[in-house]
Amino acid sequence: MKKLLFLSILYLITSCSGDNIDKTEQIKKYYEGFKNSDFNQIKEVISDSLTITEGDYVMNFDLEGYYEQFKWDSIFQPNYKLISVENQNGQFTATVAVESLRFEFLKNNPLTCKHRFSFTSGNIAKIENLDCKDANWQVWQQQLDSLVNWVKQNHPELNGFQHDLSMEGAQNYLRAIKLYQNTKKF
């Protein structure tokens, strides 16, 4: 009887530990997919539906929708660096630093943030953006406001770029940044 109880406890411990390792590996693979510009790698570890939250703002994606988000992000040539993954009582939090052309313009490059991951049926189902310790949101907003106002006056065909999360929207965003920066050089 004692032997059976011992084996049951041992099985429980090892299966839980293995589950935690798998989840950590999935988070690593998720960010490797961004680093490698390989959406298929990301698709392997996320659920068919993915929810991303930032404060009160909630974005729900199916795989096709998240692929569009991935393409939008790729226009800014991001470089993702997974700094750490922590597991506290089954809550997985990743700290990630991201450099990109957009963050460079917004003077928050790299942007280092913590993200909490939740899983459904073994796949990533929800990512909560917790905090960005080195972000200067005031400078971010000033830079964005300057760009938006300049675009309204000088390139109205690009108006709304900051809200357009399509690939074309990202291209317009990058185009607006380049046009703006070119006029500031003189």
Residues contacting residue 85 through CB under 8 Å, at least 6 positions apart: 24, 27, 28, 92, 93, 94, 95
Interval 133-161 mean pLDDT? 96
**Domains in the chain: ranges and CATH:** 2-134 (3.10.450.50), 136-186 (no CATH)
pLDDT in tens, 89-144: 889 999 999 999 999 999 999 999 999 999 999 999 999 999 999 999 999 999 99
pTM of the model: 0.83
**Rounded to the nearest 5°, which phi and psi values hold at 155?**
-145, 70
The angle formed by the CA atoms of residues 102, 62 and 21, to the nearest 5 degrees, is 80
Render pLDDT for 4-45 as a digit per residue (tens, 0 to 9): 333 334 333 333 444 566 999 999 999 999 999 999 999 999
Q: Is the dihedral of CA 149, 60, 52, 97 positive or negative?
A: negative
Q: Count Cα atoms within 13 angstroms, Cβ side, for 55.
A: 2
